[in-house]
Amino acid sequence: MRSLLLFLGINFLTLTLAAQKDSIRYTADFQFERGIYPEFEDWKNQDPVKPSEVIVDIDANSARFFQYLFAREEFRYPREHEIVYKKPDDIFGYAPGGEEMYYGTDYKFEVIGAICLLREVGQVDSYSSFVNPGEEFEAAREEGSGKLYMLDFHSGDFSKLKKRKVKSILKQDAELYQRFRKAKGKGDEKLRAFIKEYNYRHPIYFPNAD
């Protein structure tokens, strides 16, 4: 029995080390793969549909590629030997390149980690781009509510930012939860501070592109 437990322990450690080698801890300067993430798991695996893979008559290198694409009712792309049709409202999110990441088409990630914090920013005004078509022109977004939302990185649960939901996650870290209970302050700023601390203590990982 001891031999079996030892074998299983060594095997688990080997798999864990291999997984860490193939992944990288998320930090604020992490560069997301530019593209569309149809599903939640596509984002976690950093496996987007690249602009060049979308079957559409839009320049994949254009700074406004997503702006033009999301102005359409539907778009299509090949995956696993078939053509997939998708509506902009049905995607998990997209990354325009660099450190920015959007949930759906109108929620921007402000904090990314085990607990993600997002703000509703509104959809890009697809019509303003035709007023001034120059590449340097940055289209405005329709006014969003500015409300804050949260996304559980492990479960994919998306909801409005609520104290009780944050507390239920913080309770998984007894020491931090006690600090939360004793800390002065209230409202979103306190929640944001402890969300960041929780994320620091419980890091997430993305596949290592290297």
What pLDDT, on a 0 to 100 scale, did the predictor assign at position 198? Answer: 98
What pLDDT, on a 0 to 100 scale, did the predictor assign at position 146? Answer: 74
The pTM of this model reads: 0.80
Q: Give the number of domains in the chain.
A: 1
Expressed as residue numbers, the domain containing 124 is 2-207
- Dihedral sign of CA atoms 97, 28, 143, 48 in order: positive
What pLDDT, on a 0 to 100 scale, did the predictor assign at position 144? Answer: 53
- Dihedral sign of CA atoms 168, 101, 159, 87 in order: negative
Helix axes 188-201, 163-170, angle to 10 degrees: 30
What pLDDT, on a 0 to 100 scale, did the predictor assign at position 130? Answer: 46
Determine whether 180 is exposed, middle or buried from the number of CB atoms within 10 Å of its CB (0-12, 13-18, 19+).
buried
- Dihedral sign of CA atoms 78, 79, 85, 89 in order: negative
Beta-strand pair 23-25/205-207: antiparallel
Ordered per-residue pLDDT tens for the chain, 210 residues: 555 444 444 444 434 433 455 899 999 999 999 999 999 999 999 999 999 999 999 999 999 999 999 999 999 999 989 999 999 999 999 999 999 999 999 999 999 999 999 999 875 555 454 444 455 545 555 555 678 999 999 999 999 999 999 999 999 999 999 999 999 887 889 999 999 999 999 999 999 876
pLDDT in tens, 80-97: 899 999 999 999 999 999
What pLDDT, on a 0 to 100 scale, did the predictor assign at position 22? Answer: 86
Token pair 């995956």 is found at: 79
What pLDDT, on a 0 to 100 scale, did the predictor assign at position 157? Answer: 96
Token pair 């599903």 is found at: 39
Cα 50-53-59 angle, rounded to 5 deg: 85
Token pair 């080997």 is found at: 14
Separation between Cα atoms, residue 13 and residue 10, nearest integer Å: 5
Ranges of beta strands (E only) in the chain are 23-25, 35-37, 75-79, 82-86, 93-95, 102-103, 107-111, 115-120, 148-152, 158-160, 205-207
